[in-house]
Amino acid sequence: MLKVLVVDDSKIARMGVIKSLKEIAPDVELFLATNGLEAVEMYEKERPQVVFLDLTMPVMDGYEALKRIIEIDKEAQVIVVSADIQSEAKLRVLVAGAKNMYPKPINHEIMMHIFENDLLL
């Protein structure tokens, strides 16, 4: 079963990712985190195959969480989903090891694109 970690401090944003995800992979096993620190702890414990990660969060931001997740598993498949769509932010997360970055909100078409082009499953 596909294990997916969805990380965002906004419940609405988490639900949006989950809704699009369930349309593509209805049997997915979901794990949720509301900040980067929770994300790192959850990643270490559950080892999900895919992480959807926001950048702007309290406690620990997505940049630091991404860095730590990649330190745990250099093969981690992290998709950044953020309102910060500046090219510098995208370059920074790609250099840090993210598979790709998409602007919020994620919809069905974008989720299909992620599964077809960004992830190795």
* DSSP string over 56-112: S-SSS-HHHHHHHHHHH-TT--EEEEES---HHHHHHHHHHT-SEEEESSP-HHHHH
Q: Biggest alpha carbon distance in the chain?
A: 35
- CATH of segment(s) 3-118: 3.40.50.2300
76-86: average pLDDT: 93
Per DSSP, 51 falls in state E
Segments making up each domain of the chain, as ranges? 3-118
Q: What is the pTM of this model?
A: 0.96
Out of 5-9, 60-64, 82-86, pick the least confident. Answer: 82-86
Percent with pLDDT over 90 in the chain: 96
Asked if residue 121 has pLDDT above 90, the reply is no
